[in-house]
Amino acid sequence: MKKNLLKVIAVLAITGLASTFAGCSTSTSSSAGGGGEIKIGTFGPYTGDAATDGTQARDGAMLAVEQINKKGGVIGKQIKLVAMDDQAKAPEAMNVVTKMIQQEKVSALVSGSYSTPSKTVAPVVQQNKIPMVVAYAVNPAITEGGNYIFRTIYAGPAQGAAMAEYAVKEKNLKKVAVLNVNNDYGNTNAEGFTNQIKKLGGEVVISRNFVDGTKDFKALLTAVKEKNPEAIYIGSYYNEAAQICTQAKQLGIAVPIFGSDGFDSPKLTELGGKNVEGVVFTTPFFREEPRPMVQDFIKAYKEKFDKEPDMLSAQAYDSVLVLADAIKRANSTDKEAIRKALSETKGFEGVTGKISFDEKNEVIKPVILSRVENGKFVYVKSQEYTK
């Protein structure tokens, strides 16, 4: 009973919050012209174990909307951001996306959630012909559902392959262990890494997955140690990554550790400390890039939210900007016109780089590799993958 009551309170709280993520206007219009508002929906985990990721993405989207509205909005209208909590659960994602489509009458969506919720809602989004920009969910199946779904983060297989290229070609490491969280995100990253390692003549000496939220990895790491790999690849998030790195050190495992973009959070160094020093991971976001747009974004985010942005914040920020740019070029909130404009996006400058979409609505932009040095994330290299 207590859990049910808490769920009701959480839903009411999020519903209340949704009304605050808005521009100044109060009416909705479907064509170009002055006045009115454009409703853009976003969803992600704002409560529960994944709330840190969801709120980082939501806040990035909020900042983008605020900045766009301060400059006059888009096609003479203010943007209203409708944000709803999916608790990182597929059924809840379906509920809130259905509500945003049917009741809120959103013109477009930004997925600020994980792969499984995003993949679950994709068919409904496509059926209703609502343009959706996926900020950070990497499962390839998400965009395979139809032409109204776009992704501003490269899919899991691409970033896994990029890391495999680095391990073999840059570091000459061919005997690797692969560990990943057993969900859409972890499985697709691990698959991309594994396939590319094998193509490059390498060998995966052990491959294991684990349940999201696992804290004790010693038995799994003992099995890894017995195989004597030259490196370990981890397809997971910062919390498990910090635990694995710490426990690996405790077991005397001293090989290079590579990871996916789920590592890219200030929480990685906060939780892992010196144990994550030297870890290399893929990411779309390089904080030290001198481009004014990047540094202005970081400054504005820190001033507004009193915290550091991460790659999720940057991805959601860019996703809103890309969508607003498409609406501007379409000169309309007609959904087909927005979809067409999105498909024609070429070289749009975001904080994560210049963004274009290929014929499958997948982003074309560099995969960045970062390394932890003295508790900070430093640039290693970048390379472009489109698959």
Buried b (16+ CB within 10 A) or exposed e, 167-191: bbeeeebbebbbbbbbbbbbbbbbb
Domain 2-154+290-351 sits in CATH 3.40.50.2300: yes
Instruction: Report the distance separating Cα 64 and Cα 305, nearest Å.
Output: 13
Encode pLDDT of 140-149 as tens digits: 999 998 999 9
Give the SS3 label for residue 114. coil
Encode pLDDT of 99-137 as tens digits: 999 999 999 999 999 999 999 999 999 999 999 999 999
- Amino acid symbol at 102: Q
Task: Give the DSSP letter string of 94-117.
Answer: HHHHHHHHHTS--SEEEE-S-HHH
**Model confidence band, residue 31 (pLDDT cutoffs 50, 70, 90):** very low
- Amino acid symbol at 29: S
- What are the sequence ranges of the domains in the chain? 2-154+290-351, 156-283+368-385
The residue count of the chain comes to: 387
Encode pLDDT of 325-384 as tens digits: 999 999 999 999 999 999 999 999 999 999 999 999 999 998 999 999 999 999 999 876
What distance, in Å, lies between the first and last C-alpha atoms of the chain? 47
Instruction: Report the distance separating Cα 196 and Cα 318, nearest Å.
Output: 29
Encode pLDDT of 200-240 as tens digits: 999 999 999 999 999 999 999 999 999 999 999 999 999 99
Q: Please, which residues bridge with residue 280 across strands?
A: 258, 371
Buried b (16+ CB within 10 A) or exposed e, 297-315: bbebbeeebeeebbbbbbb
Which CATH code for domain 156-283+368-385? 3.40.50.2300
Angle at alpha carbon of residue 279, lines to 269 and 225, rounded to 5°: 110
228 DSSP assignment: -
Q: Which residues contact 334 (CB under 8 A, 6 or more apart)?
A: 30, 31
Q: Is the pLDDT of residue 32 over 50?
A: no
Instruction: Report the distance separating Cα 232 and Cα 164, nearest Å.
Output: 11
pLDDT score for 356: 96
Average pLDDT, the chain: 90
